[in-house]
Structure 1
């Protein structure tokens, strides 16, 4: 999102996180801006029973965790590496200076945050009122279009486990498996060698 050169000019460091490493934890004070060079990061919470709920998935070129940084509040979720990831990490004061000196970057970030907020509002409505198949299709379409920027029927290979889809949609794994079979029968998805395509 933000040019790597600009982030480095303002003092960003390149950090390596391995699968399972936590970048920050729920309840911690937001002190840095994070942007992925390569890899995949999830933001998640756990309920009292230990069930994971994935708030978001972020890949190459995407940033994450900005709202608490800009709002001066604590993180509402954890950030964890799904696989080995190289991440640019920029201290908050440097980040705010960057936004002041690069208004076009500030506007681009604002647009990105607005799209995420719009998606969250839709997903809250979907999760509370829609059937499992509908929830799954909405999350897959969001990932296809807005995260991976893929067009075309069945061009998007879903690199999520059934458990991760359950964690993203608030469903049980068994429900996801049944719903996926229903979606395949309706021609909404294709399943080849256990891999899902949308």
Structure 2
């Protein structure tokens, strides 16, 4: 199921400006959100206001399924990283997609499995107190999905938010990992090599 098929079914596109909150912890799920354009981050916020990024969703992807599937409140914030267009699919329509679209169902299983793998990997890494190990693991994970020679499209701040490290630690860590030949950088950018 792609975005155009959802539009063709009469579902409306809603535009959100950068830094809009789509949903927050404790809210009851009503929709699964499909991204037409833009980008959304899922974050947990500490008592001190520090964000920990649990995931970043881009055009063509969807988010909000787990809470809707099990009818439990959301546990994190979802916030737009830039101006974003979303299609909100209600529970009835979403379950209809699962039942009637085998390709969509298989894609949903793969998507949820990928997210579960990521969360398991991050839990293991957070238990490891070595910052360089944590950083290398997340970089290798992110590099897996891009092509040879392509830049990793996350900022140092996003790497810090994903690993629970300070941005200064990430900057030092990236330099150290590149110096050891464990990652490749070109003009300060991490590159798949």
Does the alignment reach a TM-score above 0.5? yes
Deviation at 1:96, TM superposition (A): 1.0
How many residue pairs are counted as aligned between the two chains? 191
Is the contact made by 2:41 and 2:56 (CA closer than 8 Å) also made in structure 1?
yes
* Residue pair 2:33, 2:88 contacting (<8 A) in 1 also: yes
Per-residue CA distance 1:138-157 (angstroms, 9 max, x = gap)? 22232233xxx3221xx232
Q: Secondary structure at the match of 1:157?
A: coil
Residue in 1 that maps onto 2:88: 89
Question: TM-score of the superposition, structure 1-length normalised?
Answer: 0.88
Q: Is the 8 A contact 1:10 1:94 kept in 2?
A: no
Whether the aligned pair in 1 keeps the contact of 2:159 and 2:170 (CA below 8 Å) is yes
Shift of 1:11: 4.5
Alignment partner of 2:85: what SS?
strand
TM-score, with length taken from structure 2: 0.90
* Separation of aligned partners in 1, 2:50 and 2:186: 27
Partner of 2:146: 150
Aligned partners of 1:141, 1:156: CA distance in 2, in Å? 13
CA 1:35/1:142 → structure 2, altered by over 3 Å: closer, same or farther? farther
Q: Unpaired runs of 5+ in structure 1? A: none
Mapped pair 1:176 → 2:170: yes
Residue of structure 2 in register with 1:12 after alignment: 11
Q: Aligned partners of 1:12 and 1:112: how far apart in 2?
A: 22
- Give 1:191 shift: 4.3
Structure 2, unaligned stretches of length 5 or more?
none
**RMSD across aligned C-alpha pairs, in angstroms?**
1.8
> What residue in structure 1 maps to residue 99 of structure 2?
100
Preserved CA contact (<8 Å) 2:17 2:80: yes
